[in-house]
Structure 1
Amino acid sequence: MTLSEEARERLADIVAHQPTKNGELQDLWDMDSGSEVHQYLESELKEYYYRNENSLICATPEATTLIDGEDSDRVQTMTVTPLQSVIVEVIAGPDDDSQSVVSVLHALRAAGEDPEVGEVRSALRGLADKGLVETIQRTVPTFRLAVAREDVDVEVTES
């Protein structure tokens, strides 16, 4: 997706101010309402942001790379659940072959965790929504990290 100059500048605002609220962006962007901010985010920046567990606006790792460049040394902090944290530790890296949900489940069990397959599937989808893992469609969806482990600092929240 090609961004206009305005969209790129606004995405840079999100990267710089994350996690942020509609109201803060409303002030930065001189908009009339939080609804206007939401509409802009959904129409122009949908692929580059997500809302964390507190509904605050955060940039995806892809957005941060787009703004900072490939050689950036910025480490992005992302808040995840305890299960998602362990998944980040055991899932295939960005240069490895992607893994199925069952493969990730086996890796989790080898690491001493014992979640249900539905919990793993849900956790993987949540990580994909945040841009931390990517989904590669084969016969079944498979997953791997979208960014290098050292490029993100995972902060665990209570489930």
Structure 2
Amino acid sequence: MTLSDEARDRLADLVELQPTKNAELQERWGLDSGSEVHQYLENELKDYYYRDDNSLIRATAEAADLVDVEPGVESGEGGGVPEVIRVPELQRQVFAVVAGPDDDSESVVSVLNKLREEFGIDPEAEAVRSALQSLRRKGVVEVVYRAVPTFRLTVARDEVDVRVSD
């Protein structure tokens, strides 16, 4: 399925905003109703989206690859630092405790210990590593290689609106 420039741009919006609703896409696309959004999705993007168990609109993996946009990220003016990221709860918690941009980077175990202390949770180390890597792909965490990979924010916490998506 070949996409027009408009369809490709709208698909990028869908990938960026997911999980999303008709109303959010209606506002982004300047359409008059949720019904128009639904018609556009069905007519132009039907192969690239689906509705999850909560009826939220999500892009397929193929859609994300096609438009080369990181899901759940809204970039600021001129690209660069994201203004909004949509993440699962564990990623939100990791973002809240990982070392700041001016601090020494820290290991996965250090972040895990902070999560235990701050939130009273005890996720697997691999889940914390995965959360850190996902935040890295969103451009808000960087990896500093020492004896082991260590992590810290690339931005001040107050520069990014972190929203829970799950």
Q: Shared fold (TM-score greater than 0.5)?
A: yes
Within-5 A mapping of 1:1-159? 20-21=13-14, 49-52=69-72, 58=73, 64=76, 67=78, 76-111=83-118, 112-158=120-166
Deviation of 1:132 (Å):
1.3
Corresponding residue pairs, total: 116
Q: Which runs of 4+ in 1 moved over 2 A?
A: none
What is the letter of the counterpart of residue 155 of structure 1? Answer: R
- DSSP-derived class of the 1:99 partner: coil
Unaligned runs of at least 5 residues, structure 1: 1-13, 23-33, 43-48, 53-57
Flag the 1:143–1:114 CA change in 2: closer, same or farther, 3 A: same
Kindly indicate whether the alpha-carbon contact (under 8 Å) linking 2:74 and 2:85 is maintained by their aligned counterparts in 1: no
Q: Return closer, same or farther for 1:122/1:68 CA change in 2, 3 Å cut-off.
A: closer
Partner AA of 1:156 in structure 2: V
Name which one, 1 or 2, has greater alpha-carbon Rg. Answer: 2
RMSD between superposed Cα atoms in Å: 3.5
User: Structure 2: which amino acid aligns with 1:20?
Assistant: D
Give the distance between the partners of 1:88 and 1:110, measured in 2 at CA. 15
Q: Secondary structure at the match of 1:20?
A: helix
The answer to whether the 8 Å contact 2:86/2:164 transfers is: yes
Distance in 2, Cα, partners of 1:81 & 1:117? 16
1-structure distance, mates of 2:158, 2:14: 27
